[in-house]
Amino acid sequence: MPATRWRTRGGPPVAHTATGPSWRCDACGQDWPCPALRAIPTDAARRATLIPEFSRITRRAIRDLRGRPGGPDPVAVVRRFLWFLPLTDEEARAIALRLR
């Protein structure tokens, strides 16, 4: 389970986290990583901590989500779970091949 936390202004902390195989946000029920999580600004330091964490998560998500009727293909999973990296189609494909 990812350790990323999201604190709403003035309210209690809400954990926008998710686990497989559904990969829906525990807090808002949207496809995860959800818009609230993706809205958190990522600077170089945060990206450095996100990359290893989300590489593991993306590998699991590809296994969980591929082959589902109407589900995302591995390249779409890579783009979704590594949203904080500016990836070309080529790069997303290469990562999907490495992680499957």
Report the alpha-carbon distance of residue 63 to residue 48 in Å, rounded.
Answer: 24
CB-nearer residue toward Zn ion: 40 or 76: 40
Closest approach of Zn ion to the CB of residue 4, in Å: 10
Shortest approach of Zn ion to residue 11 CB, angstroms? Answer: 14
Under a CB-based contact definition with an 8 Å cutoff, are residues 57 and 71 in contact?
no
Residue from 22, 21, 16 nearest 3 by CA: 16
**Which residue, 39 or 44, is less far from Zn ion as judged by CB?**
39
Least distance to Zn ion, CB of residue 29, Å: 7
Nearest-10 crossing angle of helices 44-65, 89-99: 60
Binding region for Zn ion (CB under 5 A): 16, 25, 27-28, 34, 36
Nearer to Zn ion, 36 or 40 (CB): 36
